[in-house]
Amino acid sequence: MRKTAAFIFVAALTSLLPWQANAALFEDKEARRSIIDLRARVNDKADAAALLELSKQNEMLRHDVARLRGQIEVITNELRALQQRNRDLYMDLDKRLKHFEPREIVVDGKSVVVQPDEKQAFDTAEASFAAGNYRDAITQYNTFLRRYPQSGLVAAAQFGLGNAYFMQKDFKKSIETQAALIKKFPNSEQVPEAMLNMASSHIILKELWSARRTLNSIIEKYPDTDTAKKAQQRLDQLG
């Protein structure tokens, strides 16, 4: 009897062992699956957090790049402006320095070197004459001749002065001035016109003999020139 009961107990216990093993195996798989799912969720959260952080960093980098580009553009514009100011300053300085440098010009077919101040003084007198301010021109020509007696522009200034006296109707002074030019610069290109100017003054002063003599001298010394043609026309008018 006891043997039979023991046998039944052992058999029952033996039948339960596979089920318990299966149950344990099932529980183990579920645990592993839970762990895997947990890990996946953790990894997903970690990846999401990492992506969010990466996105924030990327946005910050874009802002930094945009800011740096703006700064570079500002610096570039400032550099261009500085370069332009330097070029303008150099050109202005160069122009100013040229005002202090001697200049080479052609007078009476010859190259002469004139200082800036004497050229400016001569140009001022010429400008006054061209504007019809003959009184001012006379003063300025005389000032030039007094200050720069050795200038290569003396003959031109003397001629301008004689013309200015003529326009002011000071014909005697005009004749005197042009005669001084002819005496001092006999080879000047201004001489033929100076002589014609003298002849015109003689005619106005009714000094017809002197006028004819001067006009004939022009025709003799400077034939085949426009000045000689003008001289001949005036002779014809005098009869």
pLDDT for res 205: 96
Q: Using pLDDT thresholds of 50, 70 and 90, give the confidence band for residue 84.
A: confident
Examine the domain organization and report whether 207 and 145 are in the same domain.
Answer: yes
Examine the domain organization and report whether 127 and 226 are in the same domain.
Answer: yes
Examine the domain organization and report whether 86 and 188 are in the same domain.
Answer: no
pLDDT for res 15: 55
In this predicted model, which residue has the larger pLDDT, 27 or 156? 156
Q: Using pLDDT thresholds of 50, 70 and 90, give the confidence band for residue 20.
A: low
Examine the domain organization and report whether 53 and 145 are in the same domain.
Answer: no
103, 113 contact by CB (below 8 A): yes
| pLDDT tens digits for range 124-137 | 999 999 999 999 99
Give how many domains the chain has, as a whole number: 2
In the chain, the percentage of residues whose pLDDT exceeds 90 is 51
Provide the H-helix boundaries in 99-153: 116-130, 134-147
Query: Of 146, 188, 181, which is closest to residue 160 (Cα–Cα)?
Result: 181
Q: Where are the beta strands (DSSP E) in the chain?
A: 103-107, 110-114
pTM, 2 dp = 0.58
Domain residues for the domain of 135 are 115-238
**Residue that terminates a domain, selected from 66, 98, 130:** 98
Q: Using pLDDT thresholds of 50, 70 and 90, give the confidence band for residue 179.
A: very high
Average pLDDT of every residue of the chain: 81
Examine the domain organization and report whether 132 and 36 are in the same domain.
Answer: no
**Residue that terminates a domain, selected from 64, 98, 132:** 98
Q: Is residue 61 part of a domain?
A: yes
Examine the domain organization and report whether 159 and 205 are in the same domain.
Answer: yes
Q: Is residue 105 part of a domain?
A: no
SS3 113: strand
Examine the domain organization and report whether 60 and 169 are in the same domain.
Answer: no
Q: Map 188-223 to HEC letters.
A: CCCHHHHHHHHHHHHHHCCCHHHHHHHHHHHHHHCC
Indicate if the pLDDT at residue 230 is higher than 80.
yes
d(C-alpha 58, C-alpha 18), whole Å:
58
Q: Is residue 106 part of a domain?
A: no
What CATH number is associated with residue 178?
Answer: 1.25.40.10
Examine the domain organization and report whether 165 and 210 are in the same domain.
Answer: yes
Q: Is residue 46 part of a domain?
A: yes
18: exposed, middle or buried (C-beta count within 10 Å: 0-12, 13-18, 19+)?
exposed
| pLDDT tens digits for range 135-154 | 999 999 999 999 999 999 99
d(C-alpha 122, C-alpha 155), whole Å:
11
Examine the domain organization and report whether 86 and 172 are in the same domain.
Answer: no
Indicate if the pLDDT at residue 105 is higher than 80.
no
